[in-house]
């Protein structure tokens, strides 16, 4: 567990090896026990790579209440994790984790060697909610949606939503210059794959590649999807 004065203690698993380090950023309401995060740890141990997976505050084994968290608070959690590393990292951001990795790379480029987005979802507080849902968040302070991944609904708070709206970044050119790789399933029902094509257009970096998986869903956690993810990371490691 971390010991930071301004944020809840965070649970993490660090595999020590050669660099550049690989850091996995989970999606919204997810944690470090997901299949992609665990599979990357198994790969890192097998090849001797430095790898870090962790839980945001209020998620998984970390301290804090989920309902108290914000997008910028979770960004600060990622920054605390990166402070543990001795060199710039390859950030692997899944869904909302892709939003966080973009925020950090724009503002702290010295901490990042490269980016890998798995159906990255920057600005989803804007395009991911209907007007009725936005009004409910503002009026009631909370919104619940049935989850396709759990028997419990996914909860969104006005606290998180307002933080996201204040952190939008895809309306104009995004000042990111490192290598970027994006994997996105064309069968994704949560984040339209067109969002990744738009993201590729607005990134300032010339080294951007988008891979569309025609039969892939949002999670991209099948064996073949994880194998593609690992090949993508290894390709970036060769360049670093």
Asked if 80 and 94 touch (Cβ cutoff 8 Å), the reply is: no
Active site residue 207: no
| Marked catalytic residue, from 188, 193, 196, 225 | 188
- How far is the C-alpha of 83 from the C-alpha of 81, rounded, in Å? 5
| Marked catalytic residue, from 30, 94, 167, 218 | 218
Asked if 209 and 237 touch (Cβ cutoff 8 Å), the reply is: no
Active site residue 30: no
Active site residue 33: no
| Marked catalytic residue, from 62, 94, 95, 163 | 95
Q: Which residues form the catalytic set?
A: 95, 188, 218
């Amino acid at each position: 567990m971390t010991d930071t004065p301004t944020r809840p203690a965070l649970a993490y698993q660090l595999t020590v090896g050669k660099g550049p380090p690989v850091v996995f950023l989970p999606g919204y309401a997810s944690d470090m026990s997901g299949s992609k995060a665990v599979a990357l740890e198994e790969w890192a141990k097998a090849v001797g790579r430095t790898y870090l997976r962790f839980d945001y505050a209020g998620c998984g084994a970390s301290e804090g209440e989920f309902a108290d968290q914000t997008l910028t608070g979770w960004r600060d959690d990622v920054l605390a994790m990166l402070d543990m590393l001795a060199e710039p990292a390859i950030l692997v951001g899944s869904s909302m984790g892709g939003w966080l990795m973009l925020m950090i790379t724009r503002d702290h480029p010295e901490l990042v060697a490269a980016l890998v987005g798995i159906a990255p979802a920057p600005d989803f507080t804007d395009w991911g909610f209907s007007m009725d849902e936005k009004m409910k968040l503002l009026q009631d302070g909370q919104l619940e949606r049935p989850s396709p991944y759990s028997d419990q609904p996914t909860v969104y708070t006005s606290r998180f939503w307002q933080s996201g709206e204040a952190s939008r970044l895809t309306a104009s050119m995004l000042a990111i210059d490192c290598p970027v790789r994006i994997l996105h399933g064309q069968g994704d029902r949560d984040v339209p794959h067109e969002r990744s094509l738009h993201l590729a257009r607005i990134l300032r970096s010339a080294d951007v590649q988008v891979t569309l998986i025609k039969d892939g869903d949002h999670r991209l956690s099948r064996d073949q999807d994880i194998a593609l993810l690992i090949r993508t990371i290894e390709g970036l490691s060769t360049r670093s």
